Amino acid sequence: CAGLFEGFTGPAGINDHGDIVGSYRGHACVGTFHGFILHEEAFTTVDVPGASFTEATGINNRGDIVGSYGSGAAAHGFLLVQ
Residue 13's closest CA among 53, 54, 72, 66? 66
pLDDT of residue 28: 61
Mean pLDDT over 62-76 rounds to 95
33, HSE (Cβ side, Cα atoms, 13 Å): 17
E strand map for 1-82? 8-14, 20-25, 34-39, 42-46, 53-59, 65-71, 74-80
Summarised one tens digit per residue, pLDDT across range 29-68 is 667 899 999 999 999 999 999 999 999 999 999 999 999 9
Flag whether pLDDT at 76 surpasses 80.
Answer: yes
Summarised one tens digit per residue, pLDDT across range 5-21 is 567 889 999 999 999 99
Flag whether pLDDT at 1 surpasses 60.
Answer: no
| C-alpha 22 chain-centroid distance | 4
